[in-house]
């Protein structure tokens, strides 16, 4: 699910840090650790607002790409005047959301001025569902959902949550 960049969501040097609190981390999913909800989340709810730590392209290439942080950074447009993109480390739960190709229930928006990412519920989310975003089309790992999702596509079925 594509994200939308915004110029700024708040002004005056103040950024509201919203957080939906009844969440838990599972440590043993097929995707590693993952974020789950222990209460229903209505569509549109802000789940978390996470500060971003902007990296320079140089430090990214020289250092970050050679560490495990490489698997956690987000593409980020270069600040005003710069052409192209760099990477940012997203602090807080933002770095814990796993990817789902067909069943993302969370959308994210970059606030380029305030350097935060806002995560919101894309639909009503049930208790004990995992919160998943889209990392885009170029994954650097084998998608743990791959078999399940291609089976669903072949059968023309959407997953039914009982």
Ligand X SMILES: C[S@@+](CC[C@H](N)C(=O)[O-])C[C@H]1O[C@@H](n2cnc3c(N)ncnc32)[C@H](O)[C@@H]1O
DSSP structural state of residue 127: T
- Smallest separation, CB 128 to ligand X (Å): 17
Q: Give the contact letters, 21-60, x = binds to ligand X (CB under 6 A), - = no.
A: ----------xxxx--------------------------
Q: Which is nearer to ligand X, 54 or 96 (CB)?
A: 96
Q: Which is nearer to ligand X, 13 or 67 (CB)?
A: 67
- Smallest separation, CB 88 to ligand X (Å): 12
Q: Which residues, in sequence order, are bridge partners of residue 119?
A: 48, 108
- Smallest separation, CB 94 to ligand X (Å): 8
Q: Which is nearer to ligand X, 42 or 85 (CB)?
A: 85
159 binds ligand X (CB under 6 A): no
Q: What are the counts of helices (DSSP H) followed by strands (DSSP E) for the chain?
A: 2, 10
- Smallest separation, CB 41 to ligand X (Å): 19
d(CA 37, CA 47): 10
Whether 130 contacts 25, CB under 8 Å: no
Q: Which residues, in sequence order, are bridge partners of residue 125?
A: 41
d(CA 41, CA 19): 12
- Smallest separation, CB 148 to ligand X (Å): 10
Token pair 């052409």: residue = 83
141 binds ligand X (CB under 6 A): yes
d(CA 73, CA 20): 23
Residues 85-104 that bind ligand X (CB under 6 A): 95-96, 98-99
Q: Which is nearer to ligand X, 69 or 112 (CB)?
A: 69
User: Residue 12: CB partners within 8 Å, gap ≥ 6?
Assistant: none
């Amino acid at each position: 699910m594509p994200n939308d960049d915004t110029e700024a969501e708040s002004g005056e040097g103040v950024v509201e840090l919203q957080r939906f609190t009844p969440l838990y981390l599972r440590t043993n999913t097929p995707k590693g650790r993952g974020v789950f909800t222990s209460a229903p989340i209505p569509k549109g709810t802000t789940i978390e607002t996470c500060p971003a730590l902007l990296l320079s392209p140089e430090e990214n290439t020289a250092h970050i790409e050679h560490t495990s942080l490489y698997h956690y950074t987000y593409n980020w447009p270069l600040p005003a005047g710069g052409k192209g993109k760099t990477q940012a480390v997203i602090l807080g739960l933002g770095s814990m959301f796993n990817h789902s190709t067909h069943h993302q229930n969370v959308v994210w928006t970059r606030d380029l001025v305030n350097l935060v990412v806002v995560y919101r519920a894309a639909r009503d989310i049930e208790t004990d569902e995992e919160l998943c975003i889209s990392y885009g089309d170029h994954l650097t790992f084998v998608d743990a959902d791959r078999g399940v999702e291609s089976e669903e596509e072949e059968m023309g079925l959407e997953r039914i949550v009982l």
